[in-house]
Every structure is written in C-alpha cells, then in structure tokens.
Structure 1
Amino acid sequence: MLSEVLLVSAPGKVILHGEHAVVHGKVALAVALNLRTFLRLQPHSNGKVDLNLPNIGIQRAWDVAKLQMLDTSFLKQGDVTALTPEQMEKLKEVAGFPEDCADHEHLAVLSFLYLYLSICQSQRWTEESLELINKWAFQGERVIHGNPSGVDNAVSTWGGALRYQQGKISSLKRPPALKILLTNTKVPRSTKALVAGVRSRLLKFPEIVAPLLTSIDAISLECERLLGEMAAAPAPEHYLVLEELIDMNQHHLNALGVGHASLDRLCQVTMAHGLHSKLTGAGGGGCGITLLRPDLEQPEVEAMKQALTSCGFDCWETSIGAPGVSVHMAASLDPPVRQALDGL
C-alpha cells in the first residue's frame, strides 16, 4: 500500500535515423529527450482509484471494492504477459467501453486498467528493476499500438541513445548532448497506413525502394559512428556531417512516400535560417527534429521558432541523451514543473 506521494518521470523519445527502414530489418537510432512525462501516485481514503490524464482531458474513477469483485482471472497477475484479443475484449467490459472503441483516449484508459489490474493487485511485489519496468511498459504499448517494436519503452526506461535492429536493442555509450528543436506539425497520421504504404511501394518497385532502405541503413550506421567520435571530442565538422545525414535521410523518406506538405514547410522554414530538419517517426505529418548547432545564437533560435509557430506548429527546445525513468523529490524539480504538478 502506498503511504506517501510518489513522483516518477520518464523521457520522451525521437528516432534520429532509420524510420521505416527498421521495419525491413535495418538499423534505427532512437534517443531520449529532455522532455519528460510525470506520474504522481497519491494515496486516497475515498475507496476509489482515480485516473487523471490532463494532457488529453481524461478523468476516470473506479471503486476499488468493485474492481476487486470483478472476475479478472483472465489476467495473470504479477506476470508480464501480452493480452490476447479475447482478453482485450474482457478488459473493455471492465472499463465499460463499447467493443469498437479504438481512439487514443479509450486506449489510454485501457492501458492504465490493464497495468493496474495486473500489477497493483498482485501480492508478489519484488524490488523494482528497470527490466521489470521496461517489460510492463512494453505491454502497455501493446494495448495502445498492437505490435510495437519495443523501442519507445526501452528508450524511456533506460534513457540515453539506443540502437535497434531486428528486435535487438543495445545502448550507445555516452551519446553527446546534442541540442535539437522538436516541432509538432499537428497533422494527424496513421502509422499503420504509412508502414503499409512503404511495404506496397517496395513490392511495386523493389529495385528502387530496396536500395533506398539500404541507404537509410548506411545513414544510421554513419550517424552511430559519428556520435561515438563526438562523445570523445566533438568538433565543428561533426555537426556539418550530421546536417548532411539529416538532409539525405529526409529526401529518402520523401522518396518512400512518407513525407507531407507540413514537413516540407518545416524543412523550408528551418533551412531559411541555415538549419537542417527531418521527420521523426512515422511521417505523414506528426513531428520533425531540427539540429541546433552549438554556435547558434539564441535570437536566431527564437526567430525560427516564431516562424514555425506562425505556420501553426508547436516547438520545444530540448536535447538528446536524457536519463531514463526516475524517481523525484519535490525539492529537485524545477519551479515550473512543481507548479504544474501542484495544479493536478
């Protein structure tokens, strides 16, 4: 039983290189961002489990006693196992959702309920470990995304930078703290549809698309080598090569059919300020990243951010290589973070 407030956080992540090619066995490089999601667990005496997800406007509550009376034998408490389609349907019944619910809000609640019923009602608590956190986070991802790669949960658990290829994940040692601008075009897209589109294009034009995927793989490997050099002794020429890799990969991703007019606009705006951008993730809208060189003056960054905001985009300055999942004391948090959490 939780006796005091527990505050934990985990970093967000972006793909540096390897989007879509990773689906076809190539290397992808993923990095943790210094943009974090915070979770506050607080004991209550009202006999309820309250869920508050302010960023997506969700507030739900369940009676603990009623949850305990439910038949949850379909879940193997304490074991990190994937939900079958039949178990997912039963979980929807527990949540009180219709069978055809598929939007992100419903899926977020289902993921929470699954983790709560599987972990919190278990009597087999052992000392928490990063491996256990990663396994449970992966299962939560499966509730929402169906068949995730495992990259997102691994990067958020361990932080830093990871190399992913054909299910094998390994850490990059001491990645340099590159500064980037993360831009959300706010254009929704379907990852599943975009992945299917690349596969269709590969089947239609194998002699054209296969070399593109091989070239993206080479870009990931070159970036990995370069980051290793920069960890020891970063030099201005390293940033010039990183910018070249960003441009080449963005062109390749457009050739694969996963670009979007909003991402083209992002690249045009940042290039007008002498900076280089690419999509990150599925493409088709979504987010892009811009490398911020260390010699860049802050007024230049602010001018570019203003130009992007004028396009209707959201922007965040951040850096890569953030620490993984962490437990916080209130005194260790920045004042704005403390204020935001106090308002929850």
Structure 2
Amino acid sequence: MCSKTETLHSNYDDTLGYSIKLSAPGKVILFGEHSVVYGKLALAASLGLRTHLNFIENFEDDHQKIVLNFEAVKLYHSYDINDIKRELFNDSSSKILLDKPELNNHEKILSKVQDFISKYGGSAPIQKSQHQALVAFFYLFISMTNQLDVTSFTITVKSDLHIGAGLGSSASFLVVISAAFYKYFKFKTENLSVEDLNELSFNNLEFNKKKFTEKDLELISKWAYNAEKIIHGTPSGLDNTICTYGMMVEFKKGGPITPLILNHKLSVILINSKVPKDTKAQVEKVACLKVKYPEVVNSILNAMEEIALKASTTLKSLNIENKDEVDKILDDCVNINQGLLQSLGASHISLNNICNILLEKKLHGKLTGAGGGGYAFGFIPEGYAKEDLDFVIKNLEKNGYEAKIIELGGAGLINH
C-alpha cells in the first residue's frame, strides 16, 4: 500500500545538528468499533487533523540531555543522557532488531522503562495521559536506538487532535515518534559499512533511501502498534495503520489493509461530546460482556461486520446517478450500527443526545472509537442545505458540544 510521503532529506546543520519534521493524521472509525478487535471487518479513514513532530539534535548544549515537549498532554521535562544510558541501555546481551519489532521483549522493556520513569520522572505528580506518553516514548526510544551513540536532542510534539477522544491521537503520536527514531537511526548509520550494520543486527534494512519505502512504512506502523499496547492493552492495529498510511481502508485484524477507492469525496460532521473516555476500559467492558453472554455478544459482533460489509459495498458503488440511494443506505447502516453499539454499553447519554440533534435535520449519527464519550459523526450528503448544517452546528454548540466539518481520507505520514 502506498501513502502520500515527502522526501526523506537529511536536514543537517553543523551547529544545531540533525533535524526532523513529521506529521501523521488522526483517524475516524466509520464502521466496526469493538468488532474489529475480534477479527471482524472495519472501515476507517484518516482525518485532516494531525500530530506534528519536530526533532533536533542539540550540539551546542554543554549538558548532555534529551528534552521532551509534549504540548497535547502539557508535559515538558528533560532527562540526563548519562542516566538514560546507565539505566536503559545497560543490557549489552540483548540485541533488539529494528526490522523485527514483533521479537521485542515487550514486558522486559516496559518494566525497565517504568522503573526509569519512577526514578527520574521528577517530584511533581503526573497525569495518566502524561505517564502513558512518557512510557510509550521511552519504550520506543530504548527499543529503536539502543545500539546507537545517542546525543542530546529535543523533541516537540503538537497535535490538532483531542487526547483520549477516539480519533487516534495516541496512534498518531506513536507513529511520528516511531518514524522520528527510524529516520534518526538511518541518519546515524548512513555511512556505516555492511559489515558494521551486520554487527548491529540491522542487516535486513535498506539504507540511504530518499523516501519512506513500503518496508519503512510497515516497520514504523509495527513499532507504533507495539507501543499502542502500552496505552490500549489489546489494540486491533487499525489506528496505527491509518495514521501511517492515511486514506480510507478496509481492515481485519491480522489481515491485509485494503484501500477503499471512492469516486467522490466524503465529508462528515465530527462532534466532540467533551466527555472523557477510556479506550482500554471500554474494550475490557465488552470483553467481559462477551465472556458472560458469548452467544448474544457474538451475534452482535457478527451483525456489526455485516453492516461494515454493506457500507463498504455501497461506498464502492457511489456515483452521480445513485448518490441518493447510497446516502439512504449509509444512513441505515449508521443507525443500526449505533443501536448495536448501545446494546454493548458503548454509548453515552451525550452521544445519544448528539445523534438526536442531528436527526432533527435528517442527519444520522453514531459514536466513533471505543465509545463511553469522545466523538460522534454523521455523513453529510452531497448538496445538503447549508442553512440546515448551520442550524445543526449552532444547536450542537448550544448544548455544549463542538462540531467541525471534516473531509475523509488524505495523506498518512508526511515528512515536512
């Protein structure tokens, strides 16, 4: 699969050092929330809301340290390079293969990182989102650069995405972090011989490429998935895939990612309920329900896959002549899917209220993501009256929600 990527140029300055600028999109699940965890089909698309990363080596810094500025979770902290090397890079017997992320000793690395953060995290208590970001960052840092001579650097991450709202903010964050370390590794080793690379156990990678290759994107996505397990427990792999490749896709856990090619652009009204959500807790909630009522829940999950299949077939057939029929089928799919999600306890009174507000002007809404809060969306039919859309947005805002018109699909990971 290809995505829109830019040139992988080496931004190097003799004074400042090597710099990297990247961005990755968020995502919206259209159909298949929760069922995708159990191997069912899901449809998802990238959003025009992105996470932006800026990495720069600090050659002029007399104090060897790394500086983290994660604006989305209001975290700013620095760490001494010597502490990092002593505590995190001290196991020379364990060679981590950059091109084999699935072989990483996940629990061992995670435990080491958690101990490090407890010891060097500072005196002020940190919030859950800050702690998760730190753990995931250092997990990728030690896993992807453990055999390099790491020097001082600063990483700044900003995001257009609300944290913990079901729009793939964590995956978008982890994709740009994974891509940054991947590029950093390539820069640090671009002048090494094949023999030296073999010593580092990275001989299966292709180097000195000017663009992200298919192999690059695959590995970046896999590393982001590994780190996603820290935040979401048992992620499906959908979020990191969308945030890496972009576009609109069909997806099954463990299966290939299939681009969904449309003849027309699709827009949605995306609504923030402003109710905090916990993806891991919601996934565990459905899992417990499945254990308690396996036949019932399996039937619901199967029905959700049928909805995703129907929506996929319908979207593929979209053209000028049948757009009204397509809109009607998509509305039905959205309504049924929302009802099924409610039956699993995944909705929330605010999400239900949002759907009712949309329905006042014949728009149809459903939650997106794990539910329990976060976002809802509704498809906007082509030619939908602007005055009706303005009315809906004002009504949503009057009820304390936040609404945006967003185009679906678009670029995945980008080098700027």
Bin of the TM-score, shorter chain as denominator length = 0.7 to 0.9
Give the Cα–Cα distance (whole angstroms) in 1 for the partners of residues 401 and 145 of structure 2: 39
Is the aligned partner of 1:105 residue 2:151? no
Q: Which moved more, 1:223-232 or 1:203-212?
A: 203-212
- TM-score normalised by L of structure 1: 0.85
Is the aligned partner of 1:315 residue 2:315? no
Count of aligned pairs between the two proteins: 328
Look up the SS of the partner of 1:92 in the other structure.
Answer: helix
Kindly provide the CA deviation profile for residues 173-232 of structure 1, in whole angstroms up to 9, marking residues without a partner as x: 424431012222122233333333334444444454333222211100011111211279
| Offset at residue 54 of structure 1 (A) | 1.1
Indicate the residue corresponding to 2:106 in structure 1: 84
Look up the SS of the partner of 1:41 in the other structure.
Answer: strand
Say whether the 8 Å CA contact 2:88–2:142 is kept in structure 1: no
Is the aligned partner of 1:286 residue 2:384? no
Look up the SS of the partner of 2:275 in the other structure.
Answer: coil
**What root-mean-square deviation, in Å, do the aligned CA atoms of Structure 1 and Structure 2 show?**
2.7
| Offset at residue 83 of structure 1 (A) | 4.7
Is the aligned partner of 1:67 residue 2:92? no
Kindly provide the CA deviation profile for residues 120-175 of structure 1, in whole angstroms up to 9, marking residues without a partner as x: 45446334421121122112212322321111111111111222224213222424
Say whether the 8 Å CA contact 2:47–2:409 is kept in structure 1: yes
The 5 Å alignment of 1:228-267 reads 228-230=316-318, 235-267=323-355
Q: 1:143 aligns with which of 224, 227, 230?
A: 230
Indicate the residue corresponding to 2:357 in structure 1: 269
TM-aligned CA distance change 1:52 to 1:98, over 3 Å = closer
Identity value in percent: 30
| Offset at residue 31 of structure 1 (A) | 1.4
Say whether the 8 Å CA contact 1:31–1:162 is kept in structure 2: yes
| Offset at residue 96 of structure 1 (A) | 3.6
Is the aligned partner of 1:119 residue 2:144? yes
TM-aligned CA distance change 1:286 to 1:97, over 3 Å = farther
Give the Cα–Cα distance (whole angstroms) in 1 for the partners of residues 238 and 319 of structure 2: 22
Give the Cα–Cα distance (whole angstroms) in 2 for the partners of residues 197 and 111 of structure 1: 24
Give the Cα–Cα distance (whole angstroms) in 2 for the partners of residues 190 and 90 of structure 1: 25
| Offset at residue 327 of structure 1 (A) | 1.2
Q: 1:11 aligns with which of 25, 29, 48?
A: 25
Say whether the 8 Å CA contact 2:232–2:279 is kept in structure 1: no
| Offset at residue 233 of structure 1 (A) | 7.2
Say whether the 8 Å CA contact 1:160–1:171 is kept in structure 2: no
- Residue identity in the other structure for 1:302: D
Indicate the residue corresponding to 1:133 in structure 2: 220
- Residue identity in the other structure for 1:11: P
Look up the SS of the partner of 1:106 in the other structure.
Answer: helix
Q: 2:56 aligns with which of 42, 59, 66?
A: 42
Give the Cα–Cα distance (whole angstroms) in 2 for the partners of residues 318 and 97 of structure 1: 43
Give the Cα–Cα distance (whole angstroms) in 2 for the partners of residues 35 and 59 of structure 1: 23
Indicate the residue corresponding to 1:188 in structure 2: 276
Give the Cα–Cα distance (whole angstroms) in 2 for the partners of residues 122 and 297 of structure 1: 58
- TM-score normalised by L of structure 2: 0.71
Say whether the 8 Å CA contact 2:346–2:372 is kept in structure 1: yes
Is the aligned partner of 1:94 residue 2:116? yes
Say whether the 8 Å CA contact 2:88–2:112 is kept in structure 1: no
Give the Cα–Cα distance (whole angstroms) in 2 for the partners of residues 34 and 190 of structure 1: 23
Q: 2:70 aligns with which of 53, 57, 73?
A: 53
Give the Cα–Cα distance (whole angstroms) in 2 for the partners of residues 247 and 197 of structure 1: 22
Say whether the 8 Å CA contact 1:219–1:249 is kept in structure 2: yes
Indicate the residue corresponding to 2:303 in structure 1: 215
Q: Which moved more, 1:1-10 or 1:277-286?
A: 1-10
| Offset at residue 325 of structure 1 (A) | 0.4
Give the Cα–Cα distance (whole angstroms) in 1 for the partners of residues 95 and 136 of structure 2: 15
Say whether the 8 Å CA contact 2:250–2:260 is kept in structure 1: no
TM-aligned CA distance change 1:146 to 1:215, over 3 Å = closer
Indicate the residue corresponding to 1:342 in structure 2: none
Give the Cα–Cα distance (whole angstroms) in 2 for the partners of residues 92 and 197 of structure 1: 26
TM-aligned CA distance change 1:53 to 1:174, over 3 Å = same
TM-aligned CA distance change 1:295 to 1:90, over 3 Å = same
TM-aligned CA distance change 1:214 to 1:98, over 3 Å = farther
Give the Cα–Cα distance (whole angstroms) in 2 for the partners of residues 242 and 137 of structure 1: 32
| Offset at residue 298 of structure 1 (A) | 3.5
TM-aligned CA distance change 1:299 to 1:9, over 3 Å = farther
Runs of 4 or more, structure 1, over 6 Å off, are 98-102, 231-234
| Offset at residue 317 of structure 1 (A) | 1.8
